[in-house]
Amino acid sequence: MTGLLYRELKLNWVKMIGFAFGMMIYPVLFTVIFATDSGEMDIMTGRLSILMFGMAAFIAFLVGGVFQDAMFKDDERKKWAYYITSTPTGIKGYMGAKYLIALFWSMLTVTLLVLCNSIAADANLEIVDATAVYTAFFCIQLFLRAVEFPLMARFGGKTGKTVKIVILVALAMAGVVYFLFGDTSVFADMDSFWEKVISAVEDPASMKKLCFVASILMAAVLPLYYLSYRLSVKWYLKGAENYAR
Amino acid sequence: MPGKKKTLLRIALYLVFAYVPVYIICIALSDKQGGVRSAFAGGTLMLYPAIAVIITRLITREGFRGSFLGAGKRNSGKYYAAAVIYPIALPLVSGVLLHLFIVKNGSIGDSLFAGDGIITATQLLTAPVAAVALALHGLGEELGWRGYLTPKLEELMPTPAAVVVTGVIWALWHGPLLAYGYDFGRDYSFYPYGGFIAMIVMCIALSAFLTWLTKRTESVYPAALCHMIIDMTLAGELGMFAVKADGTPFEYRVSGFWVLILSVFPVIIVIGTVCMILLCSKKKAAAE
């Protein structure tokens, strides 16, 4: 396993550095803007900073996700699949290394974002700590990988991604159908809609419930990631039959 | 003998790299309250032991073999489970002890923990996830203490002694923060020495548990996960036992320092002792 992890690092280190720079451009940019802002920052701007850092985090996780996908489908060759199956570490170790690297990558993203946030907070005391937002993105990223990796293992990189896109398009279509034929009275008056949203956010009881639901979803992601690993292990050899080379 | 000398030199080198930046940051940027003024500097503190390991291994050219970087042996799942359950259960049991022996004017039913189920459940569910998200910080320390220092000390002394020495070194690594009241505050008569002693006891007991996890799985990740969950949950969850549902604190029979010692330490010490015995018995079995 350690050897397989080393192999992943050795094969991907240029990609890793490149993607790390790519995903951190916006967070670093926002950090520099907030850290060098000479004017007094008011509380409202400080609160808005969480939106800016949230956007930067979204981009960082998006770019990081591309690396995770690329790393996962790097070895799509039949010879390699049969070879790794015959080793003592086997498919479990091979898939474990891939899943572990992807998990580490998400952790690294969170750590770098937290450090950027803290540099900005050092310069401007009103900057809000956005760790909760990063943790939420971390969970979303793991969820997406947990769905995507088994599909890529079963159908190969290209087809797996297509299957994922088909699922996403189907969900989007369901949304469109709902908006066309379902009950959309809540969106009829956008002013009252936003008022409802703001009052829900300001109401401690509804926020408490929202946080509780979010915490259940977040806690479910880690077992799901593990189950996804088990599924990928099970499907890997079936998927290897689909490889072009 | 030359082997022992080489090991000692490697340990010394590692300790210099692990201690110096942390002491410089904690002294230069101290807020005199047990923390550091810079959030960035504070956020990087836990990463220095890992950085020290990397630098030491590169300088000594010993490579990264035996760094416990694999996910673990077969059937390591139960140890991963232990790494998650222990830090979650620790504040719960401590909270019960707090209410059994220390709280004067109220019961556990009056506490925030029992008073608001949704907040409690949210806290219990979120903390492990946040700990995983931030686990690189825990890994930063564990790669150094359990992944490097303890195995190196084991080359010089028996495992239990190595665990104790690691615990002491680990506790003193927090020295500049402890001197200003980190973790244990200043509200006790023999400040700051009591804080140092308490930290040493706590670190030895935790070191035993974390070393046991690392040895049984041959991986540093369960220890890192456990360390991070302890950091994320202990204060928060215990805090929910320490206040009433309306947020007002309970009255205690002892000062804040002793509240922590009497509620948290029994659990940590019992588990640490059990792990130390398990480590010793495994050593004996291996010798036979």
Q: Which of B122, B220, B228, B229 would best serve as a mutation to test chain A binding (most A beta carbons within 10 A)? A: B122
> Min CA distance, B138 vs chain A (Å)?
11
Angle at CA B144, nearest 5°, toward B143 and B148? 90
Q: Residue B244's beta-bridge partner residues?
A: B111
Q: What is the reported pLDDT for B200?
A: 95
- Nearest residue of A to residue B81 by CA position? A223
Note whether B20 contacts A: Cβ–Cβ < 8 A.
Answer: no
Assess whether pLDDT exceeds 70 at residue A123.
yes
Handedness of CA B172, B176, B178, B179 (dihedral sign): positive
ipTM: 0.85
Using the predicted structure, report yes or no on whether residue A125 has a pLDDT greater than 80.
no
**Segment 27-46 of chain A within 8 Å of chain B by CB:** none
* Contact indicator for A36, A127 with CB cutoff of 8 Å: no
- Computed over every residue of chain A, the mean pLDDT equals 85
pLDDT computed for residue A44 by the predictor: 65
Least confident segment among A43-52, A91-100, B57-66, B131-140: A43-52
- Counting residues of chain A whose pLDDT is more than 90, the rounded percentage is 28
Cβ distance of A131 and B118 shorter than 8 Å: no
A vs B, Cβ pairs < 8 A, gives: 79
Q: What pLDDT is recorded for position A143?
A: 93
Identify the pLDDT of residue A43: 64
Give the span between the Cα atoms of B204 and B171, in whole angstroms. 8
A 75-134 residues inside an 8 A Cβ radius of B: 96, 100, 104, 106-108, 110-111, 114-115, 118-119, 121-122, 131-132, 134
Mean pLDDT of B180-186: 80
Q: Is the pLDDT of residue B1 over 60?
A: no
Rounded distance, CA A137 to CA B98, Å?
Answer: 36
B204-258 pLDDT, tens digit per residue, is 999 999 999 999 999 999 999 999 999 888 888 888 888 888 888 888 888 888 8
Higher-confidence position of B61 and A196: B61
Of A32-46, A116-130, A200-214, the least confident? A32-46
Q: What does the alpha-carbon distance between residue A172 and residue B221 come to, in Å, rounded to a whole number?
A: 38
More confident residue, B197 or B235: B197
Residue of A nearest to B133 (CA): A107
Q: Mutation test of the interface with chain A: which of B129, B143, B225, choosing the one with the most A Cβ atoms within 10 A?
A: B129
A142 SS3 class: helix
Decide if B39 and A118 are in contact by the 8 Å CB cutoff. yes
Q: Residue B170: is its pLDDT beyond 70? A: yes
For chain A, give the percent of residues with pLDDT over 70.
95
Which of B43, B70, B119 is nearest residue A115 as measured by Cβ atoms?
B43
* Residue A159 pLDDT exceeds 70: yes
Question: Using one digit for the tens of pLDDT, what is the confidence trace for A55-65?
Answer: 899 999 999 98
Percent of chain B with pLDDT over 70: 97
> What is the pLDDT, as a whole number, of residue B282?
62
**Residue A44 burial (C-beta neighbours within 10 Å; 0-12, 13-18, 19+):** exposed
CA distance A21 to chain B (A): 19
pLDDT band at A38 (very low <50, low <70, confident <90, very high): low
Q: What is the pLDDT of residue A109?
A: 94
The pTM assigned to this predicted structure is 0.87
Residue B244, helix vs strand vs coil: strand
Q: Alpha helices of A203-242 — where are they, by DSSP H?
A: 204-240
User: Cα(B139)–Cα(B146) distance, rounded to whole angstroms?
Assistant: 10
Res A225: pLDDT: 94
Q: What pLDDT score was predicted for residue A108? A: 93
Q: Are A129 and A135 spatial neighbours (Cβ–Cβ below 8 Å)?
A: no
Q: Residue A40: its pLDDT value, please?
A: 63
Q: How many residues does chain B have?
A: 288
Instruction: Compare all CA atoms of chain A with the CA of B70 and give the residue at the minimum distance.
Output: A2
Highest averaged pLDDT of the listed ranges A24-33, A132-141, B118-127:
A132-141
pLDDT of residue A39: 62
Given a cut of 80, whether residue A47 has pLDDT beyond it is: no
d(CA B44, CA B181): 20
Is residue B41 scored above 80 in pLDDT? yes
Q: Is the pLDDT score of A73 beyond 60? A: yes
Closest CA–CA distance from residue B197 to any residue of chain A (Å) = 31
pLDDT of the residue at B256: 80
Do residues A109 and A61 lie in contact, with contact meaning Cβ atoms separated by under 8 Å? yes
**Mean pLDDT of all residues in B88-103:** 91
Check: CB of residue A109 under 8 Å from CB of residue A23: yes
B202 pLDDT band, cuts 50/70/90, is very high
Q: What is the mean pLDDT of residues A79-98?
A: 87
What confidence category does residue B106 fall into, taking pLDDT thresholds of 50, 70 and 90? confident
Query: What pLDDT band is residue B112 in, cutting at 50, 70 and 90?
Result: confident
For all residues of chain B together, what is the average pLDDT? 89
Determine if the peptide bond prior to B158 is cis (ω within 30°).
no
Whether residue A26 has pLDDT greater than 70? yes
Which residue in A108, A135, A216 is closest to B130 by CB distance? Answer: A135
Among A141, A211, A227, most B C-beta atoms within 10 A, so best to mutate, is: A211
A9-18, A36-45, A223-232, B67-76: least confidently modelled range? A36-45
Q: For residue B97, what pLDDT is reported?
A: 92
